[in-house]
Structure formats: C-alpha cells, structure tokens
A = this chain, B = another copy of it.
Amino acid sequence: MMKVGFIGLGQMGAGMAANLIKAGHQLRIYNRTPGRAAGLVAQGAGIAAGAADACLGAGAVITMLADDAAVEGVVFGEGGVIGGLGAGAVHVSMSTISVALSQRLAAAHAGAGQRFVAAPVFGRPDAAAAAKLFIVAAGAPDAVAVCSPLFEALGQKHFVIGEQPQAANLVKLSGNFLLASAIEALGEAVALIGKAGVDRRQYLDILTSTLFNAPVYKTYGALIVEEKFEPAGFAAPLGQKDIRLTLAAAENLGVPMPLASLLHDRFLALIAQGGGALDWSAIAGLAARDSGQRG
C-alpha cells in the first residue's frame, strides 16, 4: 500500500480517489475548492492544505485536472508539487494536457530529483467511478513500475507506451482526434441520408449491427440521430481544447492533419454559434444545419 497525494477532485478525480482508498492506499487529497472532499474524508482520506502539502511523505502524487493551466497552477511556484514532493517520488499526471507541458514537467521534475510519469486515461466519469478506465502510461520503467498498483486500482487495463512521458499524452490526444473524426463522419452521413428521407434510427441500427459494431459508433451515433447534445458528457470546449493540442503537437512535429483542421473549424463554429454548453458530439449537427435541415 502506498501513501498517495491526489490533486483534482472533479467529476473524474473524485471517483478515482475513492477507488484508490478502496484499494487500501492512504490518500492526502487537495482540491482548489473544498466541495467534493467531504465524502472522501469520510472514507479515510486526509485533507491537504495545498498542493505541496498533498505531497507530504507521498511515494506518488496524482494530478487529475482540467487543462494545462490548472496543472501548471498546482505544480510550479510557491506551495506547488515540485516544492513539496520528496526526492525520488513520482508525479503521475493523468490529465489530458499538451505534449509541450508534459515535456516541461518531465524536465522540471528531473531537475528537482523527482520522477515523472504521464498516464492519461480514456473513459467518462462513470468509467472512472467503476474503475473501468483505460490508462496509457509512459515514463522511466522504474517510475512506471511504482505506479502499477495505482493503475490497477483505477482502471480495467493499462498500457505502457514508452519511456518518454509525452508519448502517452500524444496517444491520448490522438485518440480523442479519432473519436471526433468518427463523430464528424457520422454527422455528415446522417445529414446525407436524413435529407434523402431515410429513417435515421434504422440507418444507425444497420451500421452498428454490421461493420461499425463499436462503442464509438453506437454511443455517438445514438446522440446524433436523437440530436441529444445536452447534458454534455464531455463539453464542446474540452473537445476543442484537445483538437487544439493535437494540432499544436502536429505543428511542432511537422505533420499536416487536414481532418484535424476540419474538426478545429467545426468546434469553433459550434461554440461561436452558442453551443459551448453542448456535448462535443454536437459538431455532428453542423452538417445537418449547413444542409438547411435546421434553423
């Protein structure tokens, strides 16, 4: 069992922290706003006064936050993770962050005699609560080994994709790009057959009982044919952020991705027209709108 700092108790983090406690780990938790901590304290977690405090005596500290800025906010500067984490301890970044920040974190922790593992996850809040996440990890083998029992408590499976932490972040971003691509493709296909008068639900049934028998087509296909984009399971601005980070990584690597560019423009249009509170699959509705099928 391990002493673990846990920073970030949002929809994802709260369920993950609970699973670590359930697996017997000893947690010090910290969230910018105190809201969700109470339940975890009842389960045995200790409350930290800040990010550095959460690292006190911990073998590993996990960050599960919304974006680059939030991670930078708890890691760097006065009272941050770098200041609080002991020599040789591991920072496990499970947030979806940029490749560039991941590289910067790896360097900063190395400079402070600490270790860094990137381990972003695939899965929604319900998967986080049920310990059904998929985890993609990268980092120095000994550091990843330290994290293994944590990953086992958090997910149904974890993968190690290399020794450069940022590889895991890139894989995560590319996965969200693939999801958004399938959403866009479905959006265009449904706009096409829908305007021709074909029954949308029956169409989706055919697809998903034949070649497209996969969760992504079933889940998003259903949202699209029902036009049920609220409440957001994963909000449009988060999708936009991930495509932006994908394009930023692609630009740095020198890889043109025209389909990612198309998705970027779709998210911009969706949000500019008032769709910022919708699920990211609402980009699929733009094809129908462009074809004159809605206001």
Report which A residues bind B (CB closer than 8 A).
99, 122, 134, 136, 157, 159, 161-162, 164, 166-167, 170-171, 174-175, 177-179, 181-182, 184-186, 188-189, 191-193, 195-199, 202-203, 205-207, 209-217, 244, 246, 249-251, 253-262, 264-266, 268-269, 271-274, 287, 290-292
Decide: A170 and B198 in contact? CB cutoff 8 A.
yes
Contacts A261-B261, A265-B261, A290-B269 hold; do A177 and B170 have CB atoms under 8 A apart?
Answer: no
- Whether A195 pairs with B261 at a CB distance below 8 angstroms is no
Contact at A255–B161, with CB atoms within 8 Å? Answer: no
Complex Cα spacing A274 to B266, Å: 21
Q: Given the complex of chains A and B, what is the CA–CA distance between A157 and B266 in angstroms?
A: 36
- Contacts A254-B292, A257-B287 known; list 5 others, CB within 8 Å: A162-B198, A162-B199, A170-B192, A175-B207, A261-B261
Say whether B273 contacts A292, CB under 8 Å.
yes
| CB atoms of A255 and B191 under 8 A apart | yes
* B159 and A206 contact, CB distance less than 8 A: yes
B206→A211 contact, CB < 8 A: no
Residues of B within 8 A of A157 (CB): 209-210
Q: A217: which B residues are within 8 A, CB to CB?
A: 214
Contact of A290 with B261 in the complex, beta carbons under 8 Å = no
How many Å lie between the Cα of A273 and that of B256 in the bound state?
A: 11
Could you tell me the distance in whole angstroms from the C-beta of A67 to the nearest C-beta in chain B?
Answer: 15
| Chain A interface, DSSP helix/strand/loop, else mixed | helix
CB A106 to nearest CB in B, in angstroms, measures 14
Cα-based distance from A269 to B249 in the complex (angstroms) = 15
Say whether A195 contacts B258, CB under 8 Å. Answer: no
- The docked-state distance in angstroms from the alpha carbon of A295 to that of B76 is 43
A177 & B185 in contact (Cβ 8 Å cutoff): yes
Residues of B within 8 A of A178 (CB): 185-186, 189, 207, 211-212
Chain B residues with CB under 8 A of A260: 188
A161 touches B256 (CB 8 A): no
With both beta carbons as reference points, the residue of chain B lying nearest to A156 in the complex is identified as B210
Q: Is the CB of B259 within 8 A of A203?
A: no
CB atoms of B181 and A182 under 8 A apart? yes
CB contacts (< 8 Å) of A182 on chain B: these are: 181-182, 185
Q: Are B177 and A196 in contact (CB under 8 A)?
A: no
| B251→A272 contact, CB < 8 A | no
Q: Is there an interface contact between B268 and A198, defined as CB atoms closer than 8 Å?
A: no
CA distance A257 to B291 in the complex (A): 9
Contacting pair B250 A257 (CB below 8 A): no
Contact A211 B215 (CB under 8 A): yes
Residue from B161, B211, B254 within 8 A of A175 (CB atoms) = B211
Q: Which of B196, B210, B216 contacts A211 (CB 8 A)?
A: B216
Partner pick for A213 among B186, B214, B274, B291, CB 8 A cutoff: B214
Cβ contact within 8 Å between B206 and A287: no
